[in-house]
Amino acid sequence: MKKMLMFIFIGLMMFGLVGCSKNDSSKEKELEDRISTLESQIEALLEAMGGSSNEQLTKLQDEVRSLQKSNALLVDSNKQHEKREEELENSLAEMEAYVEELNRKFNSAGLVDSSIAIHLAKEYHLVVGDTFQLFYRSIVQAVDPYGYYIRLKGTVGHAYNRYYEFQPQASDAGKTYDLTVEVCDSNGNVFGTASTKLVINRDKVQNPVTKNILCVGDSLTANGVWVNQGATRYKTAGGQINLLGTVTSGGAKHEGHGGWQWSSYINDGDSPFKSTTTSTNISFKEYCDRNGYTQLDEVYFLLTWNGVGGSFREFSFASEPFKSAKVVVDQLHSEYPNVKITLLAIPLPSVNAGLGAYYTLNQSYGDNYGQLVTAMNYDDFLQAWAEDENYKSFLRYEDSKGQFDSEYNMPTEGKNVNNQNPTQEQVGNAMGMHPSNNGYKQIGDAFFRALMHEWK
């Protein structure tokens, strides 16, 4: 009997010791209750054993007292840990508030940009064997994008000082690659980030069928260079294309009219789309009938620099130019529901003061950088329009802006660096928005890549 009670007593002691191994102040009450229970059980056992005070029981009682002392130490240790934890939390909160205050002061002083917009398309269409370039100046909204660390993330292509470059190979055909652009400070802190997809098309048209294509624009289209460039390259790749239009220049037919904007195609008496039978005053069906065009497959719009003046301007369908743009596109779709429509981005103006050199300060186009941001916002609206649920089945956006080198493909002329020094620097001219011939060809390359990417 005494031996059996001893085993029970030792089992109870082991149970108590396991409970005390948890270094958690929330268990204090539980520990105290267990110790009290053990003491009561010891008293009952001693009484049942006739008050025996043999050496073994005395040792066990000593262990219980040691357990009580250890518990007291654990309670004190937990309190110290809790105090230290509270101190650390307070310090962290103070540091976060300090950093927030520093950021506020730096931003208000113009020392740090808290965010920088990156104007990327959702996807770019590349062609095997064709060198694709994406220019930082044309996608990063900053007075000087080179004052930042521009970090690229992806699995293909190369990062140069002014642009990203990738020439897909035959093994890339049919693949899509991710590309991320980050604008950072010198320590790698990110001010802005955007991602896009690079969709790789084959270098040859797989199922050549004749495409009847109409290109509509303003002075950027009037010379026909970008239209001819894209169409010629498409034909070389095995495509069959029939360009439509009442204007012929640069070896191509088109509807490019200098000085026009979206509303001109509705209101101008010389509009090739004029109609007296529709409520919108335009008809693409009547246009095709008048010119003997039996089929219309795709329409490309590159509109418009005209009527977009204003620094940091934003856009909506409630006002021009998009109020008229929507009328034009809706009328075209209503008459030709199967026609695919592409909105080409307008290229950025000269970054070498071309606008400022041509326009005076009191004119809306006289603000070089403010107008550049307006152009970026205009192109963003084109893309948002193309992604609208009611339009995306027949409307798409092609970011020819990002593929355009606004630093070197705008015309410039030499100008003395100051009145007393004959050393010359290059300053933009030609209204600050008309590209050089090479610039028009760059737009044509973007047109070619769009032609090579078949509609889904």
pLDDT score, position 2: 42
Distances, alpha carbon 13 to alpha carbons 146, 213, 408, in Å: 73, 92, 86
Position 53 pLDDT exceeds 60: no
pLDDT score, position 47: 58
pLDDT score, position 321: 96
Neighbours of 265 (CB within 10 A): 27
Q: Where are the beta strands (DSSP E) in 187-289?
A: 190-201, 210-217, 240-244, 247-249, 252-256
Q: Assign residue 116 a region: left if phi > 0, alpha if psi is -120 to 50, beta otherwise? A: beta
Mean pLDDT value across the chain:
86
* Residue 230 one-letter amino acid: G
pLDDT score, position 82: 74
3-state secondary structure 309-346: CCCCCCCCCCCCCHHHHHHHHHHHHHHCCCCEEEEECC
* Residue 452 one-letter amino acid: M
pLDDT score, position 4: 40
| Residues sharing a CB contact under 8 Å with residue 208, sequence separation 6 or more, in sequence order | 238, 239, 240
Give me the residue spans of the domains in the chain. Answer: 2-108, 123-198, 205-452
Output the six-digit token pair for 17: 């010791």
123-198 is classed CATH 2.60.40.10 = yes
pTM of the full structure: 0.76
Span 340-360, pLDDT tens digits:
999 999 999 999 888 888 888
Output the six-digit token pair for 78: 């937990």
Span 14-26, pLDDT tens digits:
444 444 444 555 5
The structure tokens 């624009």 sit at: 217
Span 122-163, pLDDT tens digits:
999 999 999 999 999 999 999 999 999 999 999 999 999 999
Q: Which CATH number fits domain 205-452: 2.40.50.100, 3.30.1490.190, 3.40.50.2300, 3.40.50.1110?
A: 3.40.50.1110
How many CA atoms, within 13 angstroms, populate the side-chain half-sphere of residue 299? 25
Output the six-digit token pair for 220: 């950027």
